[in-house]
Amino acid sequence: MIFELSVSYIEIYNESAYDLLEERNGDSNFEQWPKITLMEDEENRFCFRNGSVNICKTEEEALDFFMMGNYLRKVSCTSMNQASSRSHSIFIVNVKGTDL
């Protein structure tokens, strides 16, 4: 079998989703990032519109994407928690296997 690994990383903040792995987002203000929308295709599968899918050749590459997304997450302190993000994040790992 041949395996293909891809990752995506999104942050949900104030009921909107944002791509943490879009390279252009690192250069702009969080409020200017394009929003991701959840879509359903003809076969009732869900996908994200405006979200990046990043192919990884190694486990190390996947971890690098994870660390990059964590760096771009918006975290600030609140009176209840010194490292609260006030958001949710989802790191998505897709593994596709092809039988030879």
Q: In the beta sheet, which residues pair with residue 95?
A: 5
Interval 29-58: pLDDT, tens = 777 888 888 888 888 887 788 889 999 999
Residue 86 is given by DSSP the state S
Q: Structural domains in the chain?
A: 2-98 (3.40.850.10)
Using pLDDT thresholds of 50, 70 and 90, give the confidence band for residue 82.
low
- How far, in Å, are 21, 44, 62, 93 from residue 39 at the CA level? 19, 9, 25, 18
Q: Note the pTM of the prediction, 2 decimals.
A: 0.79
